[in-house]
Amino acid sequence: MTPSVGVTAGGDGPAAHGDLRRTVHEDHGPVRFGPSAPDPGLPALPELVEACRAAAHRPDPEPPGGGAALREAACGYWSRRALRTAPGQVAAAPGAPPLLFALLSAVGGDVLLPRPCPAWWTPQIRLLGRPAYHVPTPAECGGVPDPYALLETVRRVRAEGGGPRVLLLCPADDPTGTVAPPDLLHAACEAAVGEGLHLVSDETWRDTGHRAGTALLSPAEMWPDDTTVLCDTVGALTPAAWPAAFARFPHTARGLARRATTVDILTALGAVLAAPVAAAAALALAEPDAVRARARAAAAAHARVAVAAHRAVLAAGALARPPEAGRHLYADFGPLRARLATVDVTDSMDLEEHLGERLGTPVYGGHRFGDELGALRVRLPTAPLLGAAPAERLASVVSGAPLELPHVARALSAFAAALSIARRPARHGAEEPRTTSAPGSTDITDATGSTDTAGTTGTTGGSGSTEGTEAQ
């Protein structure tokens, strides 16, 4: 069947729930748009609303790259995370996509990125007309490439005349919801820097960790001269409707020159922050008690429902790594391929439509995150499990025990029931393929019994040539 792909203005946010609008019909071709990051769907903090209101009278936008007060606030945010920063190292933009676009323009060269990866990365690379080479992730986590697959991919790209220059990383990962262990992150970064690649570390989700007190290791702590850090405050600090993203450039001559070029490109694009949003972002980055408390409570609530959702996914017969950060988990329904085929679900486009209809909320197939279309993987948001409306979700967050609330219990029950369709008996004679790896890992057996060995051979197809330059 040919699914119709939902387009919603708010991604997984409150505007999207219960309104899976199918206004654009796509065949099984390249995905031309991607979903936004999972939205918490919580009411804005009164303190941030007041900061926004107080700045509403200002007639002028922020200067390109951010004003002094905003960049100072970003410096304080990073300094509290062991990354001493000067205002001259910081550039701000109205959201992460235009900032990444400008940054990649400034750095130049081909781009390598893990598979799967955040859905909004690849469109920026496409707009620049640059090749994007996906590298498999290790079995333990997403967000970082397997170091051996990375080295092999770099070798093959160069052998075919390419010029890899950038590696995008996501240590606290969207879409997998995992956190890269320090040793794996170190190994991947060491391999990349050894090959002359510049690291761009997307740390939007660093403050959404599910284990209290767990600190995220940033590549900038290990290779400060070779890493640019990217962070969007909508990850944990501000509402999704108020995008404000920041880049921390290396304090080197090359790093500061790239920052200047990035700001020039943002100026040309007109990508400047509105004064009210900048004021709210500056307050959020200063992390007063109210902002800290909301971020901690939201992370704890999502952690609890994510554990319950993970159990439901496993009970349905699918696979998923235990979620460790963010507001989502990434499930692999490959073990249920034969059973899903009985309801005409044969790829991730079918799967996202099937589960979206059963759950009543948008979910997104792995093809949007750079995974193969034929892989039955999907990103499942946890925000709908906390409530159908912002007020319900806020009650779940502040309760401290969301699983004990009736509306959360009902949502989790409905979630488990929606997944249970895959537990129907398989058609006579059909056998389930044996799958021994977590989603996104490097050894996955598909329904035909063939094995994807990309984790040991790099991104190669059957012909041995380097894999395509666009996520399908």
| CB proximity list for 172: less than 8 A, separation 6 or greater | 143, 178, 179, 180, 203, 204, 205, 206, 208, 209, 216, 324, 325, 326
3-state secondary structure of 8: coil
pLDDT per residue of the chain (472 residues) written in tens, 0 to 9? 333 322 222 333 333 333 333 333 445 544 455 566 666 778 999 999 999 999 998 888 799 999 999 999 999 999 999 999 999 999 999 999 999 999 999 999 999 999 999 999 999 999 999 999 999 999 999 999 999 999 999 999 999 999 999 999 999 999 999 999 999 999 999 999 999 999 999 999 999 999 876 678 999 999 999 999 999 999 999 988 898 999 999 999 999 999 999 999 999 999 999 999 999 999 999 999 999 999 999 999 999 999 999 999 999 999 999 999 999 999 999 999 999 999 999 999 999 999 999 999 889 999 999 999 999 999 999 999 999 999 999 999 999 999 999 999 999 999 999 998 655 444 444 444 433 344 444 333 333 333 333 333 333 333 333 333 333 3
3-state secondary structure of 413: helix
For the chain, helix (H) and strand (E) counts, in that order, are 15, 15
Strand-pairing partners, residue 25, are: 4
Give the strand pairing for 245-248 and 90-93.
antiparallel
Dist. CA 279–CA 262, nearest whole Å: 22
Residues composing the chain: 472
Measured from the Cβ of residue 73, the count of other Cβ atoms closer than 10 Å reads 23
DSSP state letter for 7: -
Amino acid identity of residue 346, one-letter, is: T
Name the pTM for this structure: 0.83
> Which pLDDT value is given to residue 216?
85
> Which pLDDT value is given to residue 38?
65
The radius of gyration of the chain from alpha carbons, rounded to an integer in Å, stands at 21
> Which pLDDT value is given to residue 207?
93
C-alpha torsion angle, residues 117, 307, 385, 331 (rounded to 10): 40
> Which pLDDT value is given to residue 34?
59
> Which pLDDT value is given to residue 60?
81
> Which pLDDT value is given to residue 33?
56
Residue of 162, 121, 126, 166 lying closest to 142 (CA atoms): 121
Beta strand ranges found along 219-342 (DSSP E): 227-232, 245-248, 319-320, 328-332
CA 438 to chain centre: 18
3-state secondary structure of 22: coil
